[in-house]
Structure 1
Amino acid sequence: MSAPAYRPRILIAEDESGIADTLAYVLRADGYEPIWCATAGEALAQYRACKPDLAILDVGLPDMNGFELFRRLHELPGADGVPMLFLTARSDEIDRVVGLELGADDYIAKPFSPRELVARVRSILRRSARGGTAAPAPVAPGGPAPVFQIDGERRRIRYYGQPLELSRYEYGLLALLVQRPGRVYTRDELLDMVWDDAAQSLDRTVDAHVKTLRAKLKAVAPEVEPIRTLRGTGYALHEDLPPSPTAAP
């Protein structure tokens, strides 16, 4: 008899039972194994007992702010490789910015469509599996390395295996784009999330840094254009980059 198919574990930290039950139902129907925790303390205990494949964290937990829970989880061994998504009733931009600055993979505000949330979970796990998150993906012996490899502790990024010489803000821009391929960031978002004092900076500041960043990427792979410009909107990283520079059309 063959072993049952692996069901990715999804940790849900949500104190509203109605929302948690709905999430657990749609996640289970989509092939996942939901683990519901009504408090941050339970979530920490469940994480220590068995590391999940992804965590959904409500910001308004009764015993601990969801942002603090995120920080506590990231202090645990191996947490850097676990994607995390914030779920909250707050829709203020500052909360979204704080969550993404902490390193969350996504942010969704209540009320929300359960099917949309499951679609985001699926997308995050797919990106994580192919090395699209900040944690470097494991590389099979003899296999191609991920297009981007980020070393967060040393604040270094490799592009097609080549180390990039980046300024502080170039590193911040590229690391942010790499974490969520395809996600379009406006210039204001990039200023808020990468620069120390966005109020003292201009849209042109972002454009200038993207220009120098592109030049450094092109020096490694002249035929590849990894950063997309959406006129009047902002920038995004291409979702389907060639596995090697020589594979570019």
Structure 2
Amino acid sequence: MATRILVVDRNVELCKSLGDFLERHDIEVSTLPNAGLLERCLEHSTPDLVILDHMQPGGEGLTALGNLRASGNEIPVIMLAESADDVDRIIGLEMGADDYIGKPLNLREVLARVRAVLRRAGTARPVSALHESWRVAFGPFALDIRSRMVHHDEQPIMLSDREFELLRIFVNQPMRLFKREQLAELMFGPKDDRMARGLDVLVWRLRQMIEVRPSTPKLIQTIRGHGYIFVPDGEQYVPRPREVVARVMDEQRAR
């Protein structure tokens, strides 16, 4: 049986070129111009994957994604965006997207990413156990996204909403190096003078609750000149060579 994909994008030319290309690789493609119709469409037909335009009118792309995940629908979703910058990408991934691709599209890249997402989805647990995927363990801790609770050896830890959201961002993207500005904007919204300071306080509070020695954190580590990184196994993070070069270049520009 051929793989079936639903492309949700109002750009008719993009849908046609993408559909023609994917169909030459044994992928059956159907299209939908409006994300507001996505849930109704999925009630009648279930494709293997959805490619969803981020910039639907009125933000309907992200709204549709959020509604799918809130209803428990775990169909794989790849988001498309005019600009796949870090903040947009993180927001989309946080809301449950499986991958993100920026426009203009490289059709071969789309094919590769579709195959990669479908491979990951193929190893997922059955639908009857999908709720378990909302519980993520790291060390002696477990974060339950649906109940918005964190447990340490089965004992609950009380976190504020913002502390929980920050930990959720870290846990969902382990070993990702976040700039302070990226995290601050995700947590506090558009830029203002208090963002960075507020983020640092939030990280400090979170460390008090989940680190054995908050003064020498192992889980939420600070990378000087870059930001923060979540290391689930608690090993000391060593920047890759390209990150060292980037830091040196940043320091040179700042002089």
Q: TM-score, normalised by structure 1?
A: 0.62
Partner of 2:251: none
Question: The residue matched to 1:216 in structure 2 has which SS?
Answer: helix
After superposition, what is the alpha-carbon deviation per residue over 1:220-242, rounded to whole angstroms, capped at 9, x for unaligned? 9xxx944344332222334xx56
Relative to structure 1, the CA distance from residue 71 to residue 209 in structure 2 (aligned partners, 3 Å threshold; closer, same or farther) is: closer
C-alpha spacing 1:56/1:173, structure 2 compared with 1 (3 Å): same
Q: Could you say which residue in structure 2 is the equivalent of 1:112?
A: 105
Larger RCO (CA within 8 A; separation ≥ 6): 1
Please identify which structure carries the higher helix content.
Answer: 2
Contact 1:40–1:63 (8 Å) recurs in 2: no
Q: Does 1:78 align with 2:72?
A: yes
Alpha-carbon distance in 1 for matches of 2:151, 2:109: 33
Cα distance between partner residues in 2 of 1:124 and 1:215: 39
Q: Structure 1 residues 127 and 62 mapped into 2: Cα distance closer, same or farther (>3 Å)?
A: same
Counterpart check, 1:19 vs 2:11? no
Give, in angstroms, the shift of residue 175 of structure 1. Answer: 0.7
Q: 1:190 aligns to what? A: 183
User: Runs of 5+ in structure 2 lacking a partner?
Assistant: 235-255
* 1:111 to 1:179, Cα distance in 2 relative to 1, 3 A: same
Tell me if the contact between 1:12 and 1:55 (Cα under 8 Å) persists in the aligned partners.
yes
Equivalent residue in structure 2 for 1:56, among 51, 56, 60: 51
Change (3 A) 1:71 1:119: same
* Cα-Cα RMSD: 4.6
CA–CA distance in structure 2, aligned partners of residues 25 and 160 of structure 1: 52
Query: If the length of structure 2 is used for normalisation, what is the TM-score?
Result: 0.61
Pick the aligned partner of 1:178 from 142, 162, 171.
171
Whether contact under 8 Å (1:184, 1:234) holds in the other structure is yes
Q: How does 1:65-214 map to 2 (within 5 A)?
A: 65-74=60-69, 77-79=71-73, 81-89=74-82, 99=92, 102=95, 104-118=97-111, 120-121=113-114, 122=116, 126=120, 136-137=132-133, 146-147=137-138, 149-158=142-151, 163-195=156-188, 199-214=192-207
Instruction: Answer whether contact 1:136 1:150 (CA < 8 A) is retained.
Output: no
Q: Which secondary structure does the structure 2 equivalent of 1:178 belong to?
A: helix
Q: Which is further off, 122-131 or 109-118?
A: 122-131
Return the alpha-carbon distance in structure 1 between the equivalents of residues 19 and 137 of structure 2.
32
Which of these residues, 35, 40, 44, is aligned with residue 40 of structure 1? 35
Report the structure number with the largest CA radius of gyration: 2
Distance 1:226 1:33 in 2: 43
Instruction: Encode CA deviations 1:121-140: one digit per residue, 9 max, x unaligned.
Output: 52697499679xx964289x
